[in-house]
Amino acid sequence: MVAAEETEGSSGLAGGQDEPDELGGEPDLQAPDRSRLFQLIGGAVALIAITAVVAVLLTRSMLQAPEPEVAGRLRGMSFDSFNRADGSPLETTETGRPWQIVGGEWSVSDGRVEAKPLPGPAGGGGSALAVLDTGVGDQFVQATFFDPKAGTGLVTRFQGPNNFIGVTFAPVTGTVQLGVTVDGTQAQPSQIGSALPEGEVTLGVRTEGKNVIVYVNGAESGRQVVPELTDGTRVGLLVRGGAKGTSTSIDNVVAVPLSTEKIGALGGLGAATSTTVSDGGAKESDQPDTTSGGPAPSEPAADGPAGPATSQSGAPTPGAVEPAGGQ
């Protein structure tokens, strides 16, 4: 009996090796297979998650992509750094828009444009003026001036020598002044900012609706409401000289249309057939007589008394605008 029980017990132990372990689940020999399965599942889940994240990032990048640029620049912007041979005339900007010479002599020298006003009556100081047509009434213009003389600066909303807004330097007082000329009558200029009396100065003017905002070296210097001349489409450079017709250097001119509502024949898209203009439809007699030393374009007196103080506040870099429209 004892032998039989031992034999039965031995048989039970031997048989127990082939049955599942009640405490451990599956036999130990199958554990590596389950571990590998878990690894494969985990890897697949991680791959799906990474793919989803990449897809979201790519979609967001596509949705936030900027508008196409023209010649590597913002659409509608005209830019000129005068990177051409010495002695070259203005002709067209680097972005293809034609310069329009209203008065004076303009030529390129050492990567800048040199403006030489023709002598005025009795050998007095004259003026030089060159403009670009943005095609719209809302516009931004900016340029860098080197040792600007009194009365030198920018014009905006330019319709002709008798109708324009001028923002000019007054080195004697270290200020920037804004003046409006309507039908040949010049209003009293007002102080709209300050600038160093000499050296390199970047001046910008943003005109939208009835608001004129002036920037000096990238920061807002002042602003003023100008209800007149809301539909002039041209902006440009104004230089005044002394009795000997000395020149002034200018660089990095930017002109940007700030709206899509086009005014006039060019509409911001066309090209002029000549760099000397007759005020885009204005009477030829409106042009200044630069060959005979006639009157220069009416521009506010640079050193006149300042008007009411203007509001001043910080502003982003004026070049950071979102223009629309054609080239």
Interval 232-251 mean pLDDT: 83
Out of 9, 40, 63, pick the residue that ends a domain. Answer: 63
263, 233 contact by CB (below 8 A): yes
Q: Which residue has the higher pLDDT, 86 or 196?
A: 86
Top mean-pLDDT range of 24-28, 45-49, 76-80, 127-131: 127-131
For the cut 90, the answer to whether the pLDDT of residue 242 exceeds it is: no
For the cut 70, the answer to whether the pLDDT of residue 233 exceeds it is: yes
The pLDDT, as a whole number, for residue 79 is: 94
Q: Are residues 59 and 116 in the same domain?
A: no
Residue 281 to residue 162: CA distance in whole angstroms: 13
Interval 151-177 mean pLDDT: 93
For strands 248-257 and 78-80, give the pairing.
antiparallel
The pLDDT, as a whole number, for residue 173 is: 86
| 72 secondary structure, DSSP code | T
Would 206 be classed as within a structural domain? Answer: yes
The pLDDT, as a whole number, for residue 133 is: 95
The pLDDT, as a whole number, for residue 35 is: 72
Q: Are residues 266 and 214 in the same domain?
A: yes
Out of 253, 270, 286, pick the residue that ends a domain. Answer: 286
Q: Are residues 47 and 168 in the same domain?
A: no
306, 312 contact by CB (below 8 A): no
Q: How many domains does the chain have?
A: 2
Q: Are residues 59 and 193 in the same domain?
A: no
Would 274 be classed as within a structural domain? Answer: yes
Q: Are residues 84 and 200 in the same domain?
A: yes
Interval 281-309 mean pLDDT: 35
Top mean-pLDDT range of 28-32, 62-66, 164-168, 313-317: 164-168
Q: Which residue has the higher pLDDT, 72 or 36?
A: 36
The pLDDT, as a whole number, for residue 149 is: 86
DSSP, residue by residue, 1-47: -HHHHHHHHHHHHHHHTTSPBTTTBS-GGGHHHHHHHHHHHHHHHHH
The pLDDT, as a whole number, for residue 32 is: 53
pLDDT band at 263 (very low <50, low <70, confident <90, very high): very low
Would 73 be classed as within a structural domain? Answer: no
Domain with residue 111: its CATH number is 2.60.120.560
The pLDDT, as a whole number, for residue 40 is: 76
For the cut 80, the answer to whether the pLDDT of residue 153 exceeds it is: yes
Q: Are residues 37 and 150 in the same domain?
A: no
pLDDT band at 55 (very low <50, low <70, confident <90, very high): low
Q: Are residues 210 and 174 in the same domain?
A: yes
- Give pLDDT tens digits for 183-195: 988 888 888 888 8
Q: Are residues 135 and 239 in the same domain?
A: yes
Interval 251-262 mean pLDDT: 84
Burial 282-301 (b: 16+ CB within 10 A, else e): eeeebbbebeebeebbbbbe
Would 26 be classed as within a structural domain? Answer: no
Interval 59-81 mean pLDDT: 53
Q: Are residues 235 and 154 in the same domain?
A: yes
The pLDDT, as a whole number, for residue 75 is: 58
CB-side neighbour CA atoms (13 Å) of 316: 4
CA angle centred on 107, ends 103 and 112, rounded to 5°: 115
Closest to 80 (Cα-Cα) out of 100, 104, 60, 62:
100
The pLDDT, as a whole number, for residue 56 is: 56
Domain residues for the domain of 51 are 32-63
Q: Are residues 54 and 135 in the same domain?
A: no
For the cut 50, the answer to whether the pLDDT of residue 267 exceeds it is: no
Q: Are residues 145 and 58 in the same domain?
A: no
Interval 18-39 mean pLDDT: 56
For the cut 50, the answer to whether the pLDDT of residue 204 exceeds it is: yes
Would 144 be classed as within a structural domain? Answer: yes
Residue 84 to residue 75: CA distance in whole angstroms: 23
Comparing 71-85, 193-207, 273-287, the range with the smallest average pLDDT is 273-287
Q: How high does pLDDT run on average in the chain?
A: 70
Closest to 148 (Cα-Cα) out of 107, 181, 105, 177:
177
Comparing 174-188, 252-266, 269-283, the range with the smallest average pLDDT is 269-283
The pLDDT, as a whole number, for residue 262 is: 53
